[in-house]
Amino acid sequence: MPRKRKLLAQLSALQNTSSFPQINGVEQLNTTPGADPSPKSSKYFAIEKKNSPQLQEDFFNQPCVSLAKSFLGQILVRKLPDGRELWGRIVETEAYLGGEDEASHSKGGKQTQRNAAMFMKPGTLYVYQIYGIYFCMNVSSQGEGAAVLLRSLEPLQGLDAMRELRRASRKAPSRLLKNWQLCNGPSKLCQAFGIDKAFDQRDLTQDDAIWMVPGQDPPGEQDVVATTRIGIGNRGEWAQKPLRFYLRGNRFVSVVDKKVEREMAAKGHSPGS
């Protein structure tokens, strides 16, 4: 019996030692009955957060179209008030070029209280409301009144928290959202990341609640589809300009352009080549 008590004491000491890894509930598998059995962290997420430098002003300080393309593959990070972090890979963007762009909120160079963030330093968030309900998030770039709309993310970490936020933002009860449905659209993205008007004019290089870090393996030109923007209505030639960019073959993109993708394939531009 003394030997048994000694073994139990040793086992108890091992279980209480600080050398055992701490389990983060956000990264565990979803075990809720009837819930999506997929992991709360994407299989593509292999970034060591402690070693990931935050993107700084020099990254954002580039022309609008260049920034819209450069965003693809980068990681948006949102820290919730309870300390949980949501991570998502940017897979779709739209460029709005400022004064000359008939589809831009800053067309004609007009600056208002609503669009002031578009005229602020590169890396400033411009968050606006549509239909009096939903929010969309943009990031200012080089160029007077120019900004990039973040259209879709590939969720990487904190997927259950994203589901909670999406569920809370919808009035009617609905079925559990699949991973690809969480952030595949500009308003869905904002819902899933808890982004509202309070984030307007925040600086991505300085804010404690939202920032960006570099992604792994930035996409090549053959991986990026350039096509027309969505939902801009009758804006003449500007409705036809290829100012929307997305990662080819990524299932988290909101709307794919099969025609443009077929043209790319015909030219021998295969993804990852």
CB 251 within 8 A of CB 179: no
pLDDT at 269: 72
- Distance separating alpha carbons of residues 73 and 94, to the nearest angstrom: 14
Nearest to 42 by CA among 160, 151, 167: 160
Decide if 190 is inside a domain.
Answer: yes
Q: Which range among 52-56, 73-77, 111-115 shows the weakest confidence by mean pLDDT?
A: 52-56
Residue 10 pLDDT greater than 50, yes or no = no
Amino acid at 65: V
pLDDT at 262: 94
Mean pLDDT for the chain overall: 83
Q: What share of the chain is helix, strand, coil (3-state, %, to 5)?
A: 30, 20, 50
Decide if 29 is inside a domain.
Answer: no
- Report the domain count for the chain: 1
Per-residue pLDDT tens over the stretch 26-63: 333 233 333 443 444 443 343 444 445 899 999 999 99
Decide if 64 is inside a domain.
Answer: yes
Q: Identify which has the larger pLDDT, 257 or 48.
A: 257
Write down the pTM of the prediction.
0.80
Residue 15 pLDDT greater than 60, yes or no = no
Decide if 243 is inside a domain.
Answer: yes
- Distance separating alpha carbons of residues 189 and 180, to the nearest angstrom: 11
Decide if 10 is inside a domain.
Answer: no
Q: Identify which has the larger pLDDT, 136 or 50.
A: 136
**Domain span including residue 210:** 57-268
pLDDT at 52: 54
Among left, alpha and beta (phi > 0; psi -120 to 50; other), residue 123 is left
- Distance separating alpha carbons of residues 145 and 106, to the nearest angstrom: 6
CB 159 within 8 A of CB 224: no
Please compute Rg for the chain using Cα positions: 22
Residue 23 pLDDT greater than 70, yes or no = no
Give the CATH number, domain containing residue 229. Answer: 3.10.300.10
- Distance separating alpha carbons of residues 98 and 229, to the nearest angstrom: 15
Nearest to 136 by CA among 82, 183, 71, 91: 183
Decide if 231 is inside a domain.
Answer: yes
Decide if 258 is inside a domain.
Answer: yes
Burial 43-66 (b: 16+ CB within 10 A, else e): eebebeeeebeebeeebbebebbe
Residue 215 pLDDT greater than 60, yes or no = yes
- Distance separating alpha carbons of residues 237 and 243, to the nearest angstrom: 12
Decide if 15 is inside a domain.
Answer: no
Helix (H/G/I), strand (E/B), else coil: 134: strand
- Distance separating alpha carbons of residues 254 and 92, to the nearest angstrom: 8
C-alpha 95: how far from chain center = 15
Burial 116-125 (b: 16+ CB within 10 A, else e): ebbbeebbbb
